[in-house]
Amino acid sequence: MGKLFILTSHYLRLAWSYKLNFITRYLGAVISVLLFFFLDRLLRANGSSQIEGGTYFTFLIIGGAFARFLELASHAFSANLRDEMLRGTIEPLLATATPITLSLLGPSSWALIEGTLLVLIQLGVGWVVGADFSQANWATAWVVLLISLVCLLSYGVASAAFVVVYKRGDPMNWLINSVAYVFSGVFFPVELFPPWLRFISHLLPFTYALRALRGALMRGESLAERWLDVVVLLAFTAVFLPLSLWAMRVAVRHLKQTGDLTHY
pLDDT over 50 (residue 264): no
pLDDT over 60 (residue 112): yes
Complete DSSP assignment for 19-67:
HHHHHHHHHHHHHHHHHHHHHHHHHHHTT--EETTEEHHHHHHHHHHHH
* CA distances for 53 relative to 77, 135, 182, 253, 254, angstroms: 36, 11, 21, 50, 51
Which of 19-33, 115-129, 197-211 has the weakest average pLDDT? Answer: 19-33
Q: How many helices (H) and strands (E) does the chain have?
A: 11, 2
Q: Between residues 236 and 107, which one has the greater pLDDT? A: 236
Whether the Cβ atoms of residue 80 and residue 105 lie closer than 8 Å to each other: no
Whether 139 maps to a domain, the answer reads yes
Closest C-alpha among 67, 50, 48 to residue 59:
50
Whether 90 maps to a domain, the answer reads yes
Q: What is the total count of domains within the chain?
A: 1
Whether 263 maps to a domain, the answer reads no
pLDDT over 80 (residue 109): no
Q: What is the pTM of this model?
A: 0.76
pLDDT over 80 (residue 212): yes
Whether 264 maps to a domain, the answer reads no
221 Cβ contact list (under 8 Å, min separation 6): 137, 140, 215
Question: Average pLDDT of 143-149?
Answer: 86
Phi and psi angles of residue 132, each rounded to the nearest 5 degrees, phi first: -100, 105
Angle between helices 56-87 and 172-183 (to 10 degrees): 180
Whether 126 maps to a domain, the answer reads yes
Q: Between residues 240 and 113, which one has the greater pLDDT? A: 240
Whether 112 maps to a domain, the answer reads yes
Domain that holds residue 65: 2-258
User: Residue 151: which H helix or E strand, with range?
Assistant: helix 138-166
Whether 179 maps to a domain, the answer reads yes
How do residues 153-173 score in pLDDT, each as one tens digit?
A: 787 777 777 777 776 666 666
Which of 33-37, 85-89, 209-213 has the weakest average pLDDT? Answer: 85-89
